[in-house]
């Protein structure tokens, strides 16, 4: 699945407050630092000491009168109040300063408080006189109040911080839904590859949102809630966004976990706020992803009716009953566990319509792969049909990952285009795991692994209803020492008894091959036994394929709820004993069947094992060729070739 819609803006970086730029959460604002630095600079200027100036000569009052008498003073400025006197020498006066050899032009001294007589004497001597009264700077007036300003600023900052924290607590009940406008969704049904049936089913919702009056005119009621049910990765969220894009209405998206907090009542408050916000928009779509996180059956968890999750569910049920269908609000939800939802949530009038979004079929997989390959450089040998047939059971997300893995393999190998071999490697990587080619094993381990995988491959190729063999390898892959891969030829929707028996026989093929060749079994068949036992038990308990049990469903795979520690079964101990006996009977019968098959095809088993030891990986066509070769009668003793039966220790 793919879409070309614009993504929502990224969230603010961790630890930053999006409402107050330049301020870290819980820290001082950046502006406070600059204000403090400015105040310190002003104080330094105002309180700075007037050091000695080499261009001004400090003299006494008597020396000034002597300079006046000598005619060396041009002007005098007197400060009322302080009595400070600043004067200027005449241009022809040669008065030495503090530095030897340099002359000064100005002088300063301290006069008397009453300088009226001095003023008259200066004027008689022809000296320019000026009396000034200095005015104190406004900044100096603020200096005594600076401590109080700092204290008031600190309390103001504390109040703002307290207010923001309280605002965060008070807004905890606000909905966390992300709102997408009619332009923002950007996705339509054209962006949803495949799923033609799902689109037809959900088109009715789109038509209602576009033309609600047409439905109201005839009295038809559109479903209030549409539940999208399907496995993970099938594109349920994308389909909901495509509905919003097709209808051209706002789209409110929220996940079920967004309603839950540590405070009681927060979930219910957020539900109320979500529906209130939707009503303000008129026509809108409310989409809740993973609704099973809050929609579980009530009374199944610890806490009973007072559980926060149940209060949230109760509020949601109430809100869905509160708005009428003609309001133009449609609620959509997605889940992959519809069996655990509360029945009140699924009743008519709430989520009364379920749209199944299954795993894509062959045609759907082709369309999905084509969408993901559109913007990648593909080689001429890449066939979408072949890739789609080889990816049964993959969801849209799995197919997107498959295409990306193939592109990564092409980049690692220095190719400029993605080839068919890259898709083969990507499928092995996704389904089987990473190959451990550097694992060191002894020759005996290699021989045992080769015969083990040869037993699986031979059984899968010979059994009539089993899926054909695609590839066999003895290269350690993932957690396995070897792998036999089979791929179905077409879509499968049910399993017959003969097919189930063939799968059990194939699963036991590796173990029986080891026992046939080496006379004993190893621990390498642990996973095979687990699969075979699980298949046999399901035949007995779920599928009614045991004559002694009869047509009864004895499966205990019911939904598991939090706080439900009971493990009761709906059948007696005698029935449980009978289930074990029937499961064991099926396994033993299939083991005998597998042993007879391998003993009959012993030559083919040796051929496949020898080919695996030589090439490590053998494809399905080669397996069939080796089996056909083993079935051919030798023309003569000279044409029979070397004996193929290995020694008891291996090939």
- Nearest Cα residue to 539 out of 563, 525, 555, 559: 555
Contact 289, 237 (CB under 8 A): yes
Contact 611, 651 (CB under 8 A): no
Distance from CA of residue 568 to its chain's centroid?
Answer: 37
Contact 106, 55 (CB under 8 A): yes
- Nearest Cα residue to 588 out of 472, 500, 504, 478: 504
The contacts found for 40-43 with CB under 8 angstroms, 24 or more apart, are 42/139, 43/143, 43/146
* Cα dihedral sign, 318-324-330-332: positive
Pairing mode of beta strands 106-110, 251-255: unpaired
Q: Is 287 exposed, middle or buried (0-12, 13-18, 19+ CB in 10 A)?
A: buried
Contact 549, 579 (CB under 8 A): yes
Cα–Cα distances in angstroms (integers) from residue 261 to residues 16, 36, 166, 318, 340, in the given order: 21, 40, 17, 20, 22
Contact 635, 486 (CB under 8 A): no
- Interior angle at CA 231, CA 225 and CA 237, nearest 5: 50
d(CA 603, CA 630): 6
- Interior angle at CA 516, CA 593 and CA 611, nearest 5: 105
- Interior angle at CA 346, CA 341 and CA 347, nearest 5: 140
Place of tokens 């007197």: 78
Distance from CA of residue 80 to its chain's centroid?
Answer: 78
Contact 428, 421 (CB under 8 A): no
Is 63 annotated as catalytic? no
- Nearest Cα residue to 222 out of 234, 231, 209, 235: 209
* Side-chain-facing half-sphere of 4: CA atoms under 13 Å: 9
Catalytic residue among 290, 308, 453, 501: 453
Pairing mode of beta strands 284-289, 225-229: unpaired
The residues carrying an active-site annotation are 453
């Amino acid at each position: 699945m793919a879409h070309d819609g614009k993504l929502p803006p990224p969230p603010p970086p961790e630890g930053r407050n999006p409402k107050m730029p330049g301020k870290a959460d819980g820290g001082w604002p950046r502006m406070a630092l600059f204000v403090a630095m400015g105040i310190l600079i002003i104080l330094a200027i105002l309180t700075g000491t007037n050091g000695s100036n080499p261009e001004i000569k400090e003299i006494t009052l008597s020396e000034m009168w002597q300079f006046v008498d000598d005619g060396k003073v041009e002007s005098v400025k007197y400060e009322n109040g302080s009595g400070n006197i600043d004067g200027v020498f005449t241009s022809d006066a040669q008065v030495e300063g503090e530095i030897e050899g340099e002359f000064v032009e100005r002088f300063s001294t301290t006069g008397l408080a009453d300088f009226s007589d001095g003023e008259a004497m200066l004027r008689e001597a022809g000296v320019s006189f000026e009396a000034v009264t200095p005015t104190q700077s406004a900044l100096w007036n603020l200096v005594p109040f600076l401590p109080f300003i700092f204290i008031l600023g600190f309390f103001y900052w504390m109040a703002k911080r307290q207010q923001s924290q309280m605002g965060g607590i008070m807004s905890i009940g606000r909905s966390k839904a992300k709102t997408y406008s009619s332009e923002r969704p950007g996705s339509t049904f054209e962006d949803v590859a495949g799923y033609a049936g799902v689109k037809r089913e959900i088109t009715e919702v789109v038509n209602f949102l576009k033309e609600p009056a047409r439905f109201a005119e005839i009295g038809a009621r559109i479903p209030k809630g549409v539940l999208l049910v399907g496995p993970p990765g099938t594109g349920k969220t994308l389909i909901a966004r495509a509905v919003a894009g097709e209808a051209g209405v706002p789209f409110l998206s929220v996940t079920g976990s967004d309603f839950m907090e540590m405070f009681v009542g927060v979930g219910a408050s957020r539900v109320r706020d979500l529906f209130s916000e939707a009503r303000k928009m008129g026509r809108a779509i409310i989409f809740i992803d993973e609704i099973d996180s809050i929609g579980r059956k009530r009374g199944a968890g610890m806490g009973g009716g007072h559980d926060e999750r149940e209060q949230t569910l109760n509020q949601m049920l109430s809100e869905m009953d509160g708005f009428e269908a003609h309001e133009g609000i449609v609620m959509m939800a997605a889940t992959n566990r519809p069996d655990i939802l509360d029945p009140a949530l699924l009743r008519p009038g709430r989520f009364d319509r379920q749209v199944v979004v299954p795993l894509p079929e062959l045609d759907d997989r082709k369309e999905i792969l084509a969408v993901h390959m559109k913007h990648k450089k593909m080689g001429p040998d890449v066939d979408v049909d072949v890739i789609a047939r080889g990816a049964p059971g993959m969801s849209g997300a799995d197919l997107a990952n498959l295409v990306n893995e193939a592109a990564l393999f092409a980049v690692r190998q220095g190719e400029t285009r993605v080839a068919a071999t890259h898709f083969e490697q990507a499928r092995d990587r996704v389904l089987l795991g990473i190959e451990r080619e550097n694992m060191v094993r002894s020759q005996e381990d290699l021989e045992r692994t080769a015969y083990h995988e040869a037993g699986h491959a031979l059984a899968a190729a010979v059994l009539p209803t089993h899926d054909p063999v695609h590839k066999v390898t003895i290269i350690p892959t993932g957690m396995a020492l070897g792998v036999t891969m089979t791929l179905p030829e077409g879509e499968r929707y049910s399993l017959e008894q003969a097919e189930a028996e063939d799968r059990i026989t194939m699963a036991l093929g590796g173990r029986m091959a080891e026992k046939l060749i080496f006379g004993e079994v190893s621990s390498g068949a642990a996973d095979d036994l687990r699969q075979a036992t699980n298949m046999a038990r399901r035949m007995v308990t779920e599928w009614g394929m045991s004559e002694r049990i009869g047509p009864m469903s004895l499966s205990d795979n019911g939904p598991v709820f939090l706080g439900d520690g009971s493990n009761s079964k709906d059948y007696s101990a005698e029935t449980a004993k009978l289930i074990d006996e029937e499961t064991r009977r099926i396994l033993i019968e299939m083991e005998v069947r597998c042993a007879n098959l391998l003993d009959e095809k012993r030559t083919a088993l040796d051929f496949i094992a020898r080919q695996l030891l030589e090439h490590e990986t053998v494809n399905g066509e080669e397996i069939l060729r080796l089996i056909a070769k083993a079935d051919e009668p030798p023309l003569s003793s000279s044409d029979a070739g070397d004996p193929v039966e290995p020694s008891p220790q291996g090939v």
